[in-house]
Structure formats: C-alpha cells, structure tokens
Amino acid sequence: MEQRALWGSKIGFLLAAVGSAVGLGNIWRFGYMAYENGGGAFLVPYSVALVLAGIPLMVLEYALGHMEKGSAPLAFTRVSSKWESVGWWMPTIAFFGINLFYAVVIGWCMNYFVFAFTQAWGADTGAFFMHQFLQISDDVFHFGGIRWPILAGTLFTWLVCWAICYREVSHGIEKASMIFMPLLVVLTLVLVGWSLQLPGAWEAVRANYLTPHWDKINPFTAGGGKVWVAAFGQIFFTLSLGFGIMITYASYLPKKTDIVTNALITSILNCLYSFVTGFAVFGTIGFMAAQKGVPFAEAIKSGPGLAFVVYPEAINQLPAGKTVFGLLFFLVLIMAGLSSAISLVEAFCCALMDKFDLPRGKTVTAVCVLGALGSVIFTTRAGLYILDIVDHFVNNYGLVSGGIIECVLVGWVLKAAVARRHVNNVATLSLPAFWEVLIRYITPTLLVVVLGFALVNEFATRYSGYSVSALLLFGIGWLVLALVISLVLTRYTWAAGKLKRKHDPDDDQLLV
C-alpha cells in the first residue's frame, strides 16, 4: 500500500485550506447579507456563529481527517462501517451538486475577463448578460442549445483543475495555492483601495456597511430571528464545511500538527477576507449609485447580478482605468473560484483513491472528464435556471445535513472526548472540554434550526416561482442522484488493507 501524501509545509496547507474556503460567495454574498441584515450589527450574529458553529466544525473536520488518515468515506468507515454511505454523501454532493455548475460560473468570469479589455458588455449590462451572453431561454425546460463561449471557459476551468490535481498535493495543490492565494490577497487589497477612493464610495460604506442597525438583530423578533439563522447559514457555507474537503486536506497532515491553531487561522482568515471584500463591493456600488443619482438600495444586488451586471455598470461609470479595474475584478473572481473548485475535485478524487487504491493520475483524469461532461447542461440557454435550483437545494439541504451527521458521528459514535484527546496530543492551544458540549448538543441543534428554517420557507412558497416539476427534477432529483451514487459506491469492497491504519515514518515530522 502506498504511503499517504503529505503537505510540504504548514503555510502550504493553510493557504490551500483558506483557498478552499474563500470562494465566489465571499465576494458577492457576504456584503449583501450584511446590508440586508443590520449592516455593521450583522457582525455580531456572524461572529457568534463563527464561535459556536464555524470553528467547532472546522476543528471537528480537521481532527477526523487527521486522526483517521483518510477522506470522508474512509474516515467515517474507520469510525463505524455503518456510516460509510454518509461519508460518501459529502464529497459526492459537493462534486456533483456544486462543482459541476461552479466550473461554469468560473467560465463566465473568464469570458468577462476578456470582455473587460473593451467593455464589450455595453451600456445596458443587464440586457447584455441575460440576452446576449447567456441568451437565456424563457423556461427551465427549454435548453435551447449550448452557449459555446461559456462551454469554452468551462472546459478551460476543468483543464486547470486537472493540471493542478494531477500531481501529488505537495507538488500540485500546495504549489498552486502558494501562488494563487498571495496573489489573490494582493489583487483584492488593490481592488479595495481603488474602490474606496472613488467619489461617493466611503459614504456608501459608512452608511450601508459599517453603521449598525441594532433593531434588526433582535433574536426575539421574527425578523431578528431570520438574521441569526442567515448568519449561521453563511458561516457554514463560507468555510467549506460539510463538503468533505477539510477532512481530506487534514488527512495529508503529518502526526505532529497543531489542529486547533490551524482551524482557528483558517476560519478567521476566511471570514476576514469576506469582511475586507465588502469594502470593495460597497465602495464600487456607492460610486455607481452616486454617479447615476439613484439610491444605494436600488443599485445593490447579490450573486451573479452583482458580478456580471452591477460591477460592469460601475466600471462603465469610471472616469479612467476602466479596462484595468475590470481585468482586476474578474481576475479576483477567477482565482477565488479556482481555489475552491480545485478542492472540490480533490475531495472526490481522494475518496475514490482511498476506496479502490487507484493511481492519482488516472483518477483525476476520469473525474475531470466526467465533471466536464456533467457541466454541459449548465452551459445551455437554460443553464442559469438549473444552476439556481441546484444551488438552492444543495446549499440548504445537502451540506447542512452533512454537518449535522458529522456532529452525531464524532460526538456520539466516535465520542467527542476521543477526538479532543487526539487533538490535544500535539497542541499549542488546547481544545477545551466545552468543545465536546458544542459538538454533541449546541452546534447540531443550531444546524437543525437552519435546516428547519429552510424547510419552512420551502413549503411556504415555491422557490423563485419555478414549477413543481422543475424543483423536483433539478432540486430534489439532484440530491437523490448524489444519494444513489453514494449508496452504489458504498456497495463496493474496500481495497485490501485500506481500513487498517498503518504507521508512516513521515508522520513523525513536524510541519513547519
């Protein structure tokens, strides 16, 4: 049996982990959520969610992967063979439920990077995005053919993922992260600095982003309760929890690794990046609103609308430097997206390699080809509709359910005390006993509330007005497909010796 690959350095691991967590949602979702949910006051429930759910779950996933030396399926199986299918659920739903459309969105960003050279999106950026670029159909079931420029960007995304994941983690993902992440930080800071010096930018930041509206976060009111649920949901999604990624990445760590400190650094840096990018978002939108003479509330949007409609419109308003600003913004999106997409590929590939003892090169090649084929449906003229439905169901139900199950597995089956002792064997900062209470009771309860809140909203009204058949096929159907794949993979026997942990001399090294 081959020795398990290891990270070459602590900084390489941290950059890869932070790169996985930092994604497009940090840029186009966090700021909008803060704006809608109390401005600066939103940082209170967000910070509480980080402490009560984000960091405890990050420690859990790191501890599980490090202790069991395996991907999510292998780690779960080593704890209890009855839980293998749940271990498969996490990387499967992340790969088939997220990465297939995530690669397409990165493909959009690549197209817009090219458009930025000439501001090809024109004066009406909304019409360009919907009708000229996407050529959106009038219904989710009217596919209308493939958009070839989008397919080209998507295939290039998969090619990059393949090229990086093809090599062992210390030579592939780690080296790529050592380049991507510092460059991403520098580019983001330049974007923030540039945005804040625009006319009307700082006023918009101060009034809409930093000013706290305390009445909106009162948890004893209906609106305030929603804000707290939103904060916990955002923390869970933004840290890449429930994907199986952090379990996989931690499995490549040597024995003498400070789990708690690494989990804290990963979680805090990710959330700090979200907060910092908010200045660029609010500054740019504030400038655009001032130039057009419209209220800030009328200008701001979330998700793709922010990146592909609002930002290009703001770039059009710039007195100078339009091309450079546009290139800079879309390059930031591309790099943030790629760092996350690579980790999603790695989590699923690692699970397959663990199960069947397959060589990395062939596994990564097969998975990336499969992923590229699966992404094709999102490059059609109905792709935006399908993407919206899949994203909604996977994020609201697939990943949260994985987090709840993790808490049950580690808290009650493995026993949280066992995981805590393992973590504290090599720890600069010891994990307190209260972590066991969090993992066994508090964190899963909070995630159940988030899940319940999503279900209540689901039954109250059809999501975005889509037909029942569309929601069943592309929403529920996508979750069922991931479940079927997980159950099928579970039926196969593990490669000889895979379930027995062996001591690797390299484990004794201290990661520096």
Q: pLDDT per residue over 227-258, tens digit each?
A: 898 888 888 888 988 899 999 999 999 988 99
Do the beta carbons of residue 170 and residue 253 sit within 8 Å?
no
Residues 16, 22: Cα–Cα separation, whole Å: 10
Residues 113, 36: Cα–Cα separation, whole Å: 29
Residues 208, 203: Cα–Cα separation, whole Å: 8
* Three-state DSSP class for residue 358: coil
Q: Which of 32-36, 112-116, 382-386 has the lowest mean pLDDT?
A: 32-36
**In the chain, what percentage of residues exceed pLDDT 70?**
97
- The per-residue pLDDT for range 194-223, each reduced to its tens digit, is 999 999 999 999 999 999 999 899 888 877
Residues 204, 196: Cα–Cα separation, whole Å: 10
In this structure, what token pair is assigned to residue 203? 């006023």
209-238 burial, b if ≥16 CB within 10 A, otherwise e?
beeeeeebbeeeeeebebbbbbbbbbbbbb
Residues 471, 462: Cα–Cα separation, whole Å: 8
Q: Residue 148 belongs to what H/E stretch?
A: helix 148-165
pLDDT tier for residue 497 given thresholds of 50, 70 and 90: confident
Q: How many residues does the chain have?
A: 512
* Three-state DSSP class for residue 161: helix
Residues 162, 273: Cα–Cα separation, whole Å: 27
For residue 229, give Cα distances in angstroms to 222, 236, 401: 11, 11, 15
> What one-character DSSP code corresponds to residue 170?
T
- The per-residue pLDDT for range 37-53, each reduced to its tens digit, is 888 999 999 999 999 99
| H-type alpha helices, 37-139 | 43-49, 55-68, 72-79, 84-94, 100-115, 125-127
Average pLDDT, the chain: 92
Region for residue 428 given its phi and psi (left: phi exceeds 0; alpha: psi -120 to 50; beta: otherwise): alpha
Q: Above 50 in pLDDT, residue 1?
A: no
Q: Above 70 in pLDDT, residue 511?
A: no
pLDDT at residue number 59: 96
Q: Above 80 in pLDDT, residue 501?
A: no
Q: State mean pLDDT over 168-174.
A: 93
Residues 471, 129: Cα–Cα separation, whole Å: 24
* Three-state DSSP class for residue 337: helix
Task: Number of helices (H) and strands (E) in the chain: give both, helices first.
Answer: 27, 0
pLDDT at residue number 300: 84
Q: State mean pLDDT over 485-508.
A: 79
Residues 48, 231: Cα–Cα separation, whole Å: 9
Domains of the chain: 10-386 (1.20.1740)
pTM of the model: 0.94
> What is the DSSP track for 451-483?
HHHHHHHHHHS-GGG--HHHIIIIIIHHHHHHH
pLDDT at residue number 433: 95
Q: Above 70 in pLDDT, residue 502?
A: no
Q: State mean pLDDT over 120-127.
A: 96
Residues 449, 328: Cα–Cα separation, whole Å: 39
pLDDT at residue number 85: 95
Q: What is the CA radius of gyration of the chain?
A: 22
In this structure, what token pair is assigned to residue 411? 């808290």
pLDDT at residue number 107: 98
Tell me the three-class secondary structure of 131-144, residue by residue. HHHCCCCCCCCCCC
- The per-residue pLDDT for range 2-22, each reduced to its tens digit, is 578 899 999 999 999 999 999
pLDDT at residue number 36: 86
In this structure, what token pair is assigned to residue 166? 């093809």
Most trustworthy range by pLDDT among 104-113, 164-173, 287-296, 461-470: 104-113
pLDDT at residue number 399: 84
